[in-house]
Amino acid sequence: MNGLPSLDARTARTTHYGLRRRDVLHAMALTGAAGLAACGGGNRGGVRAGEVGGADNGGGKPIVIDRRVKVSASPEVSLQVRDWQPPGSTGSVIVLLAGLGGNARYFDSLAPALAARSRVIAISRRGYGLSDKPLPVKTATQYYEVETLVADLKAVLDALGVQRAVLAGHSIAGNELTRFAGLHPERTQGLVYLDTTFDYTVEGDSEGETVPDNRLLHEPRPTPDDGRSLQAAIAFFRRNSKNWWPALEANLRDAIDIRTDGSVRLNTPDEVETAVDTAAHSFSPDYKAVRAPSLVVTALPADNRDMFPWLELPLDAKTQKDAADYLRIFRRVAITNSNQLVAALDTPNRLTLDRASHGDFLMEREAEVLRAIQFMTWA
């Protein structure tokens, strides 16, 4: 179908962060509850390039400019870009890319913190946030292959006059980082892999263990009542998130349209969501082509609150055991995945955050992530 789905209309794969058995084997292939399937009509308007979308609060604090940057003429595609500009900054330009389903607002906390020293640019990839969303026609992944997303990234940098940048990507955005660095080494000052997977085409090794398939471990799907209003949608996602942060709510608000009767719906068409997901999981990165200094950040869940925030206590004995087994296998696969990524990048720079959630570690552990990025000496 070409219509836009209601909040409750998607299948079990709807919320990109829904827990499925293959997610464990892919080792953090999805974004987590914080990275709600974000969307928003590319024709909803918004602040145009050059207009100020945020104010200087005084004291030399950075301003944020909301832009729409055209990246393609056929089909015509413009992207949502948030551009934090600290006065007089001479540091590196840092570009932030969200994970599957996320948008530029996902970085509404980390970006201004980084902007104390650097110009920071957050981009909503095509298909999400306030960016345009062309429908695939010739193939299931048309317009959303990694090569296309990388071309979009380069077009944004060209339009904003950015010659070199540090690229930081959450989850599937690691694909875009790796490919861009391989194609454009002269434009890549550094890379920050924010809880990404080494290779989304390869399933993690569960060492022969069977991942528990307990329905209580599956992330709850929204009901029609959860889509009756914006506040109902916020309440649903708050219940199913480890923590609820202003940046997550901002991400959510750019993820939905509000109908005339007050109900809400996700605005990324099913075809687009499938295209992005399929293309991301069909791309095998070439790390040998990467020459830029890299930082690998890994979030390791340690308890049910990190992994299954929707579980209600007390748990029955079976669910308690299944959750513990799932978490143990996931951690082992995630650690192996992180080690593979560090080895492939040949980098000594890594930050491992225990007791962290894939979806909200950038907010909950912001100070540690910020220090790690600022500690780096970019080439």
pLDDT one-digit tens code per residue, 10-23: 333 333 333 333 33
Residue 13 located in a structural domain? no
Average pLDDT, integer, range 95-105: 96
Task: Say which residues have a Cβ less than 8 Å from residue 33's Cβ, sequence separation at least 6.
Answer: 15, 17, 219, 237, 240, 241, 242, 248, 309, 357, 359, 360
Reduced to 3 states (helix: H, G, I; strand: E, B; else coil), residue 20 is: coil
Which residue range(s) make up the domain with 324?
Answer: 21-372
| Long-range contact pairs involving 272-275 (C-beta distance under 8 Å, separation at least 24) | 272/127, 272/133, 272/134, 272/135, 272/136, 272/144, 273/16, 273/37, 273/101, 273/127, 274/140, 275/127, 275/136, 275/140, 275/141, 275/142, 275/143, 275/144
In the chain, the N- to C-terminal Cα span, in Å, equals: 47
pLDDT value at residue 267: 86
Average pLDDT, integer, range 58-81: 91
Distance CA 376, CA 111 (A): 17
pLDDT value at residue 59: 54
Q: Tell me: the pLDDT tens digits for 290-349?
A: 999 999 999 999 999 999 999 999 999 999 999 999 999 999 999 999 999 999 999 999
Distance CA 93, CA 162 (A): 8
The domain tally of the chain equals 1
Residue 11 located in a structural domain? no
Residue 14 located in a structural domain? no
Tell whether the model's pLDDT for residue 43 goes beyond 70. Answer: no
Residue 348: HSE in the Cβ half-sphere, 13 Å Cα cutoff: 3
Beta bridge partners of 353: 299
Nearest Cα to Cα of residue 193 among 91, 307, 338? 338
Residue 7 located in a structural domain? no
pLDDT range class, residue 255, cuts 50, 70, 90: confident
75 phi, psi to nearest 5 deg? -70, 160
Residue 299 located in a structural domain? yes
Please indicate whether residue 64 or residue 49 has the higher confidence score (pLDDT). Answer: 64
Q: Which range (5-9, 31-35, 210-214, 342-346) has the least confidence? A: 31-35
203 within 8 A of 180, measured Cβ to Cβ: no
Q: Would you tell me how many other CB atoms lie within 10 Å of the CB of residue 54?
A: 17
Residue 63 located in a structural domain? yes
Please indicate whether residue 10 or residue 376 has the higher confidence score (pLDDT). Answer: 376
**CATH (domain of 96):** 3.40.50.1820
Residue 343 located in a structural domain? yes
Looking at the chain, the whole-number percentage of residues with pLDDT higher than 70 is: 83
pLDDT value at residue 61: 81
DSSP state of 195: S
Residue 49 located in a structural domain? yes
Q: Tell me: the pLDDT tens digits for 260-293?
A: 999 999 888 999 999 999 999 999 999 999 999 9
pLDDT value at residue 208: 84
